[in-house]
Amino acid sequence: MKVYLVGHDFLYEMENLVRLFYPCDRIEMIENATGHEDPGQDDGAWLTIAPKDDGTLRYTVKVTLLGQAPCERQDEGPMMDPPAEQERRLGVLLFTVLQALTGQTPAWGIITGVHPVKLLRQKSEEVGLLAAEEFFRDKWLVSDEKIQLMRRVLQVQEPYVALNQPNSCSLYLSVPFCPSRCSYCSFISQAVEGAKKLVEPYVTLLLREIEETAAIARQVGLQIQSVYMGGGTPTTFSASQLTAVIEKVRERFDLSHCVEFTVEAGRPDTVTKEKLQALLNGGVTRISINPQSMHDDVLRAIGRRHTVADTLRAFSLARDMGFDNINMDLIAGLPLDTPEKFRQTLKAIEELSPESVTVHTLALKHAARMMRDEEVRENHRRGETARQMVEDAGRALTRQGYVPYYLYRQSRMAGNLENTGWSRKGKECFYNIITMDEIHTVLSCGAGGVTKLCDPFSTDIKRVFNFKYSYEYVSRFDEILQRKKQIIKGYGTFLHRAGQKNL
């Protein structure tokens, strides 16, 4: 589809709104359009904001799909509306037009961002919870079901949010290697067989970056509240490499205020007794063992090399060794999976009784191999199967005593749904809460790491990026250390603006 922007520059949000309805299609955004363009053999959408003679603004959305009659909606608003309100008005029109043309009603309305609970918290602080919920319903067209889900998450998070202090921060460690690449994956992780020569130098440099980051944290006065080692699959590292990384963190950072240390054991086929012992010896308090599905045919279809038996073995081993806080990830909407098979997966997880279960909705990026399959793309576009799975998961996990404690969204998700973490009381992952609601600074080390500097005195966020790929991380490491100095500068700006001498 070609989307023509006439009289405004709301490109990013309008593109994401179109993508809610057409997650797998090519979308071409055309700025500074006149409104008279011919899309040729493509579908066309004209999104127009134009002043009227009476001093108001007219909003017009017209969409023409090949083989269908054009659909058009209009609205008017004050000339003095701020840009955010203009964008919202235009977004509502676009949403209603595409809703009429496709027969779909995305449950999150016109919200396309990653952090809806953060938005609800901020709005609640301004006008109160009930008024905030009404705003989400009436102005952003969010369904009552999703508003209720956000409210439940918000309530669970409150005690954890209250722990935050101006000098609080968390540490993220990136391990961008996996035993194989899943067919739905678009992340930076690499299959370890093709990157064996990079692993050892990567670990060596990761240790150096941890040292430098710890020194900066001390200089700025930050205190670590949680540590999260993710990927990729951290347990592609050997037991000795895991030990080296964890020991370096404990040696260089003051963890006396740390409430949680998580490592994604991730792929069950990478879990061994030696690696789990290394995690235990290092004081790791929480791990993930992620089956995605408890059906071998589904696992084969997505390129996972482990089996259901591997998952059961890894989980039992971790339990026997003393891990009492285990998360398990599932994905709704995978090829060859059905609602009935997904219910069987949920039953198998119930028998294992992990402390938390994260239900992801399949998100397909263009870089994923799975996007080459036309049937997969069509099922993903409709999203009906994923929606049924997510609903079944919510009911089953609620019945088992789990509560939703964090959620986030991604572009191109099946059914425009969400990823939700469910936990038993007291076993919520602190890191997941703070990072998705951007409550405090996250210092990141490793390839693909993004350090988020959250101003403790405002809503300002500054980002410091590491190189995405492991080969860049190794070859250009000195540049990463130079970038790290932006943390000192960033906190200097925060403190100066707030009139503070220190944290």
Cβ atoms 368, 184 nearer than 8 A = yes
Which stretch of 171-175, 190-194, 333-337 has the lowest confidence by average pLDDT?
A: 190-194
The full DSSP string for 258-324 is --EEEEEEESGGG--HHHHHHHHHTT--EEEE--B-S-HHHHHHTT----HHHHHHHHHHHHHTT--
Per-residue pLDDT of 427-486, as tens digits, reads 999 999 999 999 999 999 999 999 999 999 999 999 999 999 999 999 999 999 999 999
pLDDT, mean over the chain: 93
pLDDT surpassing 70 at residue 278: yes
Amino acid occupying residue 11: L
Which tokens in the block code for residue 419? 């990823």
Across the range 407-420, mean pLDDT stands at 90
Q: What is the pLDDT at residue 304?
A: 86
Residue type present at position 348: A
Select the more confidently predicted residue: 210 or 501: 210
Q: Residue 178's closest CA among 479, 470, 500?
A: 470
Q: Which domains does the chain have, with CATH numbers?
A: 2-102 (3.30.160), 116-159 (no CATH), 160-489 (3.80.30.20)
pLDDT level of residue 139 (50, 70, 90 thresholds): very high
Which pLDDT score is estimated for 380? 67
Per-residue pLDDT tens digits for 27-44: 999 999 999 999 999 999
At residue 138, the pLDDT reads 97
- Residue 379: pLDDT above 80? no
Start-to-end CA distance of the chain, whole Å, equals 50
Q: What is the pLDDT of residue 329?
A: 97
Percentage of the chain modeled with pLDDT above 70: 94
Residue 450 CA to residue 448 CA, distance in Å, equals 6
pLDDT, residue 180, reads: 76
Residue 196, classed as helix, strand or coil, is helix
pLDDT digits (tens, 9 = 90+) for 20-79: 998 888 999 999 999 999 999 999 999 999 999 999 999 999 999 988 889 999 999 999
For residue 293, the model assigns a pLDDT of 97
**pTM confidence score:** 0.93
